[in-house]
Structure 1
Amino acid sequence: MALKKSNAHGARIGDDGRFAYEGLDRVIHERARLGVLTALITNRKGLTWNELKGMCSLTDGNLSRHLGILEQDGLVLQEKGERGNRPQTVVKVTAEGRKRYVGYLKTLEQVVKDAAAEATGRKLNFAR
């Protein structure tokens, strides 16, 4: 077993990419989209446009823009219909969206574990 050397800053040489966190999905990582997906994940039947807008504190324009990005990536779908002779849009997370969200959370958990280990002085577990 080869010993790893440390540089002048204490970083271990040979751990290149250790903190790259490739699983931090750029589409999900944006604050508003993370909020939208979290709201939808916790409401399996979906949410109406107005419910989602209120829960995430977004304007119509912001919500429209972020839902467009999430829908284009296949993470959510918008079902247009009517309720009481009024148009109503219900937004739901897709199976692909749920899968990517869970993967994102696993990577985020690793980020937190790594940071907590350093902050408390515990040795980092480099096995993923």
Structure 2
Amino acid sequence: MKADASPAEPDDAGVLHPTYALDDTVHQRVRLGILSITREADQVEFGFLKNQLAVTDGNLSRHLKVLENSGLIAMRKGYEGRRPRTWVSITSKGKRALDAEVQALRRLVHRLDTGGTSS
């Protein structure tokens, strides 16, 4: 890509820079972590996510709300014994978004490894 090109402008070969395909909703570190962890299991408990991602309750709640509002995760509230719990699962849309993010990151790494604009 030319240095003076706009972020959405293709390079001379007609290819957008791989970072253009990154999704800001998914790419944020905590949200990427939530999607990655929930992709590995049917559902994950709020406290497990909090511990794995080393975030506060409030911080995790805000990120979960963004993902839920985007349709990338589903949340279910209930009880385990007498203790209230929140379980989080990734949706089909969330799986597709995570897959697209991983592919964009792979293209970026490939580009950096090869030092060129090949995709």
Would you call these one fold, judging by a TM-score over 0.5?
yes
Name segments (4+ residues, structure 1) moved above 4 Å.
none
Query: Matched residues in 1 for 2:104 and 2:43: separation?
Result: 25
Task: Please say if 1:110 is aligned against 2:114.
Answer: no
Query: Matched residues in 1 for 2:117 and 2:22: separation?
Result: 19
Greater helix content? 2
User: C-alpha root-mean-square deviation of aligned residues, in Å?
Assistant: 1.8
Aligned pairs (5 A) from 1:1-128? 14-15=12-13, 18-19=16-17, 21-43=19-41, 45-118=42-115, 124-126=117-119
Query: Matched residues in 2 for 1:33 and 1:49: separation?
Result: 13
TM-score of the pair, normalised by structure 2: 0.84
Gaps of 5+ in 2: 3-10
Structure number with the bigger relative contact order (C-alpha 8 A, sep ≥ 6) is 2
Identity across the alignment (%): 31
Gaps of 5+ in 1: 1-6, 8-12
Q: Which has the larger radius of gyration?
A: 1
Give aligned pairs, total. Answer: 110
State the SS of the aligned residue for 1:111.
helix
Amino acid of the residue matched to residue 125 of structure 1?
A: S
Query: Matched residues in 1 for 2:23 and 2:107: separation?
Result: 14
Query: Matched residues in 1 for 2:114 and 2:60: separation?
Result: 37
TM-score of the pair, normalised by structure 1: 0.78
